[in-house]
Amino acid sequence: MGIAHASDKGTHAVNITIDDGPDPVWTPRVLQVLKDNGVKAVFCMIGEEAAGYPAVVRQVVADGHRLCDHSLHHDTTMGRKPPSYQYSEIVNAKGEIERASGGVKPLYYRAPGGAFTPYSRQIAASIGMRPLGWNIDARDYKRSGALAIVSTVEHELPNGPTILFHDGGGDRSQTVAGLAALLPRLRQQGYAFGFPVR
């Protein structure tokens, strides 16, 4: 199955995606910003993190967001490893996320670092998950400040609708601030907020 990028809200829309959580500190803060702005997102969760913080996973679901399998361990080299390893990383992560969520299935699969293989896409599709890419990297992992995050996203909006942010991997205070500044600006510019097309 092809990698999803488009938005179910049409051509003047964006999809917010949040990677590498759940995190007990930063995911709730991201959720609050999304709630304050009436925006739903896709949370691409690492399986072992979901297993560690099931209450956070359930809050994501309770708030109406969608789940995405981001592999069990976030091994960015998994695309160069045997098919059996790729299978284990994807399928076991899906199981951990479903258990943590109380039975809600992830609808998407995003390869760590975007390192999809034909085999990993096939595995994901065979168990009901659409491979999910991105068009815009907010580069929030560089921790260059909220204004830089906003500027990066606005500059890259012509590239397509799916925007990549992070709630895991350390201090995400700049991500929270960047989202709080960006979401109202996008709405003022007439953007709708959707989910990636499945």
Report yes or no: 152 and 138 within 8 Å, Cβ to Cβ: yes
Query: What six digits make up the tokens of 131?
Result: 């491979």
Q: Which of 19, 75, 140, 167 is catalytic?
A: 19
- 142 contacts: CB under 8 Å, gap ≥ 6: 148
**Calpha distance 76→112 (Å, rounded):** 5
Helix axes 173-188 and 26-36, enclosed angle (nearest 10):
10
50 CB burial (10 A radius; 0-12, 13-18, 19+): buried
Q: Of the listed 65, 70, 74, 166, which one is catalytic?
A: 166
Kindly state the DSSP code that residue 159 receives in the 8-state scheme.
G
74 included as an active-site residue: no
**Amino acid occupying residue 21:** G
Task: Please give the C-alpha separations between residue 176 and each of 10, 15, 32, 150, 171, in angstroms, as whole numbers.
Answer: 26, 16, 9, 11, 10
CA distance 75 to 113: 8
Q: Which two tokens stand for residue 161?
A: 């609708």
Task: Determine whether 166 is an active site residue.
Answer: yes
**Residue whose pair of structure tokens reads 């990383």 in the numeric block:** 89
Supply the residues annotated as catalytic. Answer: 19, 166
